[in-house]
């Protein structure tokens, strides 16, 4: 059983907690969150406030509440608060924080020299698979026409970051992204490959926010078998299929 | 430009000829077919009848009409007719024949010791990609529920062989295949992965038979860069993406 | 603004309350529910317990909390509790109760002689539209092959009642229903019409339970313009389009 | 059995001939086409050239080759050539000509005073149903967000006329049409209705050009039961469902 500390308890963080709570392979041991309160527990978990907590405090908290992994859904700078504790305990880190600046990225790489670190702005398993599969088909059939279509709820303001990432990873101009805003669609992404005599569609439908939890669970499981190092979500997926790819080479 | 001899000129063979004729990378040099006729040309191509043609005759034909590759859409036993010529010319073979018996398979492997040989019962690029991608996602997320749905024209008698192959390669019982027969649907295959909080759909729609041609063109292009050996369609696809997979290992 | 009393406050009832609360055309005035409690309010609404409440009590409640409409998501027999009050106030009734027996149905018809009554076991707007549209296409093109496919979360035990209703309204045997159980799919229904040279797909995806609320809002809005009578959801939809259908007749 | 004369024998006309030939309810009796030739028959049908044929000649042709219906896939002005004959024989007309000018339209209306006339620029059954169903749902739920997506083969130059027609009939600006050009997609149209808590998709996939034939066959069958008059495809479809709509009014 992997013991987990969850840093960040917004909507995504809460959804991750829900998923981990239902999975016997994980034990959610504590929550660290920004919002200050007098409570010591939240939804049944011991809770520590991030604000006003210096590294030393976090070290103490960590010592009294040791975990095998920290899952981070908080702000970029939060990593500085728990890094020392993480290193001392040789715990692993799964970070879904999206906007690390270059200094913070360098800091993560240093962390990766001591601990297994996985950092990915989108931690949904299905979306990451879509990205990987689309890149593969693009390599195999660069002559196919490719379009990215995303559909989301009416209020979502911008082109989905996921759609942008898919397009850029396929070398597509933004004009090949179609964004439709309609009703209450949670999140629909589709990559369409038009061949002269056949069509391939890779489709992802998000059902609810808990999908982040499935991705975190996957990352924890894989990272637990990895040596110290910095990993992307892609690389953890590749690990599961590489044996098969290499096996084929020797046939 | 790759010079090609086409063995077998049924509906699939004809469709392949159409595609190769439109692609400047290939030159279709001759056709060999079962049906006997007094004509020496067919659709503008020199034609040789397969019936009554012994190995020696084929050798002569091949010498006077040399090609870099034979594409075979004929019957399993036809390989014996052109094998000698293929070996002498070190030409390559792309075979879409589906029902080789074990003796014929052994013969193909011998051929593969001298010539580059690709043999695959389904030579559609999109379907082969679907197979590969589905296997990967199955490896990555064995906990997801998987269903295979295929839809074809009303008269198609049995469960599609492709759907069976997808299911068996995913370790699924036949009860996870749904076959719908409706109107004039050319060929629709869908592999659905149901996760707790998201759904991934891999969808292939055949538009017309010429899709076989796209697969043949791909196989010829890839095989032309391969040493002698026996290859599956999968392996040719893998070759295009392996560099990327291995590159990531070293990061 | 239509004043509403909500009878039944299970998951569906709650979702309806949420939707009505966000729609300025409706005012949710009170809730009646089975579960007994000492509270007099629930989620901010005045609350009355159904258990132990006789007709007379309900009359008093209704007199002190008058509404234009009752929305019923409770048990079949509950209608007897509020019928007198409904009649005295000439309020309308929107009932989503599914299993009225023949006696209860007769009682509803009597109610319909005095009040506008809409009763439908499935009160989702999109599903009701799918049903109507599918019936129309079946009438127009009885020669097309038709299949009903439904996909729901892994735990859903039986064939979806909606799929059964679609199939029976189209005169299809149950063998033309395909039920797939996968992951966490909320509710996907698809009616596929296979023509010889084209395919039509009518697809409904439920996003969340609040979809019931959209149907209730629609029914209330339409029923408010109807004289006393018993209506199906279908008939309320038809009312919106009949003018257009009849207009065409006179061209 | 309905005897048919086919005017116009381009790709669409040919496809219609193929469908009628396979349907025992119709007998294709002759073809009139623009291209001049010395042949008197085409694909086994008696053939008359349109060029240089005046009304009088067409009358003679019609008298010696009488038909119950003319199906027109030719140019707008062609109607003037066969109108006299049509009137004298009280035959019916199914016209798929798309660009009648106002004078020609007036002429068609005059024809309709004597003969049953159906004129529709798009004669595909599925597309016409999509149009009708989308308009209904728009009337029922004007609050839903609506988007029209069409996908066609790479070379198709403009936004599909069908998509434009759907959008305009729904009162949507052109910016709610998405046109994707990819590979060899024959013709995919999708009207998506986004509700707050559910999504409805109406999807049409053309498989091949013969779909026009199915529409012609439907129109002939329905028109054969109509008095003289001018009809749209819509009205012929409505006829099949109106009885059901009106029946419900009396419940």
Mutation for D interface: B15, B201, B206, B207, most D CBs within 10 A: B207
pLDDT of D245 > 80? The answer is no
pLDDT of B7 > 80? The answer is yes
Torsional class of C67: left (φ above 0), alpha (ψ -120 to 50), beta (otherwise) = beta
List CB contacts (< 8 A) between A183 and chain C: 207
By C-alpha distance, which of D76, D56, D57 is closest to D7? D76
Task: Count Cα atoms within 13 angstroms, Cβ side, for A111.
Answer: 28
pLDDT of residue A251: 41
* pLDDT band at residue B5 under the 50/70/90 scheme: very high
Chain A's closest residue to D201, CA to CA, is A182
Q: Who wins on pLDDT, D122 or D54? A: D122
> Which chains does D contact via 3+ CB–CB distances below 8 A?
A, B, C
- Mapping DSSP to helix (H, G, I), strand (E, B) and coil, where does residue D140 land? helix
Across A115-129, B203-217, C35-49, least confident range: C35-49
Rounded Cα distance, D203 and D210, in Å? 18
- A109 contacts A230 by C-beta, under 8 angstroms: yes
ipTM (interface predicted TM): 0.92
List CB contacts (< 8 A) between B203 and chain C: none
Distances (CA, A) of D28 to A3, B175, D88, D219: 77, 46, 20, 15
Rounded Cα distance, A105 and B66, in Å? 59
Chain A's closest residue to C184, CA to CA, is A207
Take residue B131 and report the two structure tokens written for it.
């197979």
Distances (CA, A) of C92 to A221, C89, C114: 56, 9, 9
B151 close contact with C: CB closer than 8 A: yes
- Name the residue among A146, A154, A197 with its Cβ closest to that of D194: A154
* pLDDT band at residue C125 under the 50/70/90 scheme: very high
What would you measure as the largest C-alpha separation in chain A, in angstroms? 65
How high is the mean pLDDT of chain B?
93
pLDDT, mean of residues B245-249? 59
D105 close contact with C: CB closer than 8 A: no
Burial class for D137, CB neighbours closer than 10 Å (0-12, 13-18, 19+)? buried
Distances (CA, A) of B163 to B216, C46, C188: 21, 57, 22
D52 close contact with A: CB closer than 8 A: no
Positions in chain A whose pLDDT score sits under 70: 244-251
pLDDT of C242 > 90? The answer is no
pLDDT of residue A244: 66
Rounded Cα distance, A227 and C143, in Å? 63
pLDDT, mean of residues B220-232? 96
pLDDT of residue C20: 96
Pairing mode of beta strands B145-152, C2-7: unpaired
pLDDT, mean of residues B157-162? 92
* Residue position matching structure tokens 């729901």: C152
List CB contacts (< 8 A) between A184 and chain D: 194-198
Tell if the CB–CB gap between B185 and D207 is shorter than 8 Å.
yes
List CB contacts (< 8 A) between B154 and chain C: 145, 194
Task: Count Cα atoms within 13 angstroms, Cβ side, for D197.
Answer: 20
Distance from CA of A5 to the nearest CA of C (A): 26
C57 close contact with B: CB closer than 8 A: no
Segment C161-213, tens digit of pLDDT: 999 999 999 999 999 999 999 999 999 999 999 999 999 999 999 999 999 99
Catalytic residue positions of C? 152, 156
Segment B10-68, tens digit of pLDDT: 999 999 999 999 999 999 999 999 887 788 899 999 999 988 777 788 889 999 999 99
* Residue position matching structure tokens 């929550």: A31
Segment C126-163, tens digit of pLDDT: 999 999 999 999 999 999 999 999 999 999 999 999 99
State the DSSP H helix or E strand holding residue D220, giving kind and residue range, or none if neither.
Answer: helix D211-223
* pLDDT band at residue B96 under the 50/70/90 scheme: very high
How high is the mean pLDDT of chain D?
93
pLDDT, mean of residues B71-86? 94
Q: In this structure, is the dihedral angle defined by the CA atoms of residues C32, C33, C35 and C39, taken in order, positive or negative? A: negative
Segment B163-201, tens digit of pLDDT: 999 999 999 999 999 999 999 999 999 999 999 999 999
> Which chains does A contact via 3+ CB–CB distances below 8 A?
B, C, D
Task: Count Cα atoms within 13 angstroms, Cβ side, for A183.
Answer: 28
pLDDT of C28 > 60? The answer is yes
Segment D132-180, tens digit of pLDDT: 999 999 999 999 999 999 999 999 999 999 999 999 999 999 999 999 9
List CB contacts (< 8 A) between D154 and chain A: 145, 194
Rounded Cα distance, D128 and D239, in Å? 14
Active-site hit among D65, D156, D188, D239: D156
pLDDT of residue A116: 98
A186 close contact with C: CB closer than 8 A: yes
pLDDT of residue B52: 78
D186 close contact with B: CB closer than 8 A: yes
How high is the mean pLDDT of chain C?
93
pLDDT of residue C250: 44
A193 close contact with D: CB closer than 8 A: yes
Pairing mode of beta strands A26-33, A2-7: parallel
pLDDT of residue A245: 67
Rounded Cα distance, B69 and B221, in Å? 11
By C-alpha distance, which of B219, B191, B212, B209 is closest to B130? B191
- Name the residue among B124, B136, B200 with its Cβ closest to that of A126: B200
D184 close contact with B: CB closer than 8 A: yes
- A180 contacts D147 by C-beta, under 8 angstroms: yes
Beta-strand ranges (E) seen in D8-74 are 26-33, 41-42, 45-49, 69-72
Tell if the CB–CB gap between D180 and A147 is shorter than 8 Å.
yes
pLDDT of residue D114: 97
pLDDT of residue A107: 97
Distance from CA of A194 to the nearest CA of B (A): 10
Catalytic residue positions of A? 152, 156
* pLDDT band at residue D200 under the 50/70/90 scheme: very high
What is the model's pTM?
0.93
Rounded Cα distance, A140 and C241, in Å? 50
- Name the residue among A149, A184, A195 with its Cβ closest to that of D184: A195
Take residue B135 and report the two structure tokens written for it.
């296997």
pLDDT of residue C99: 85
pLDDT of residue B241: 87
B195 close contact with A: CB closer than 8 A: yes
């Amino acid at each position: 059983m992997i013991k987990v500390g969850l840093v960040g308890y917004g909507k995504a963080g809460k959804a991750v907690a829900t998923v981990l709570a239902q999975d016997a392979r994980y034990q959610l041991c504590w929550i660290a969150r920004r919002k200050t309160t007098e409570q010591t527990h939240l939804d049944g978990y011991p809770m520590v406030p991030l604000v006003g907590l210096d590294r030393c405090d976090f070290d103490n908290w960590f010592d009294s509440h040791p975990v095998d992994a920290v899952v981070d859904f908080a702000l970029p700078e939060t990593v500085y608060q728990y890094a020392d504790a993480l290193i001392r305990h040789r715990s692993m880190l799964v970070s879904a924080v999206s906007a690390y600046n270059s200094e913070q990225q360098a800091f993560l790489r240093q962390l990766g020299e001591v601990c297994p670190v996985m950092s990915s702005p989108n931690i949904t398993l299905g979306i990451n698979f879509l990205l990987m599969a689309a890149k593969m088909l693009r390599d195999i059939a660069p002559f196919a026409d490719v379009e990215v279509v995303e559909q989301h709820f009416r209020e979502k303001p911008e082109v989905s970051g996921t759609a942008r990432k898919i397009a850029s990873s396929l070398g597509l101009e933004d004009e090949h992204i179609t964004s439709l805003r309609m009703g209450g669609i949670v999140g629909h992404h589709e990559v369409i490959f038009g061949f002269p005599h056949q069509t391939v569609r890779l489709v992802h439908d998000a059902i609810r926010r808990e999908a982040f939890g499935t991705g975190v669970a996957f990352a924890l499981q894989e990272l637990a078998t990895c040596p110290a190092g910095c990993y992307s979500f892609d690389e953890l997926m590749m690990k599961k299929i590489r044996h098969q790819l290499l096996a084929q080479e020797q046939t």
